[in-house]
Amino acid sequence: MIPTIIFKDLGLMDYQEAWDYQASLFRTRVNQKLANRSLPEEQHVLPDNCLLFVEHPNVFTLGKSGNQNNLLIDNGFLQKINATYYHSDRGGDITYHGPGQIVGYPIFDLEQFGMHIKQYIFSLEQAIINTIEKYGLTGERLAGATGVWLDPETPKARKICAIGVKASRQITMHGFAFNVKTDLSYFNYINPCGFQDKGVTSLAKELGRDPDLEEVKTNLKENIISLFLTK
């Protein structure tokens, strides 16, 4: 059976609300795969694959293996800059989410796509690379780190997209954070992704203008669907 991907743009949504929503989708799909174990193969029900896009109000999130010391401010200052903080169950270290950033949460059954987790992350990175290429930028990977970078092997290395995922029974959740026209000043309050010697950037900063966010979403959605559904 050919996999399908259902897309939904959640708009601007609180981080906890979006986390609860995607966790519900995740649990439903994990439970479906567990239920299939007791059924003959011809009765197996394949879980739907969901791709969620969302923007969050200002929030810092720390991955399950991250170092809390990479948050450089205290609770009082968090309130002052109108931001919140969550310890997430995704992989990776600390990052920032905010308006003007496309956060993508694919709830995918990797078994349907014939992928393991490293191939999955590689494909997410490639979707971002293909998207920013349309705007004249060359995205690359940095050895030993996830995400998409510009000039990764130089002193000017800067990340334009962070990736942190979780998977169980080959069902994924969490995903990526792509800086389109994000307020990059919030990254000054953390060591982004645990790095102290590398910067962050956005599509807007690199282009010297604000790109149309809806246009970028459309391009990115098409690139993700193409990479996962075209063999």
Domains of the chain, each with CATH number or no CATH: 5-229 (3.30.930.10)
Please report the pLDDT score of residue 65 as a whole number. Answer: 83
Please report the pLDDT score of residue 44 as a whole number. Answer: 81
Greater confidence (44 vs 196) lies with: 44
Q: Each residue of 167-191: pLDDT tens digit?
A: 999 999 999 999 999 999 999 999 8
Cβ-Cβ contacts under 8 Å for 219 (sequence gap 6 or more):
131, 134
Please report the pLDDT score of residue 60 as a whole number. Answer: 96
Q: Is 43 helix (H, G, I), strand (E, B) or coil?
A: helix
pTM reported for the whole predicted model: 0.94
Residue 201 CB neighbours (<10 A): 21
Indicate which residues carry an active-site annotation: 193
Residue 125 CB neighbours (<10 A): 20
Q: Compute, in degrees rounded to 10, the torsion defined by CA atoms 197, 217, 63, 117.
A: -100
In angstroms, the CA 41 to CA 23 distance is 26
In angstroms, the CA 159 to CA 142 distance is 9
Q: Each residue of 133-145: pLDDT tens digit?
A: 999 999 999 998 8
Average pLDDT over residues 1-8: 89
Please report the pLDDT score of residue 59 as a whole number. Answer: 97
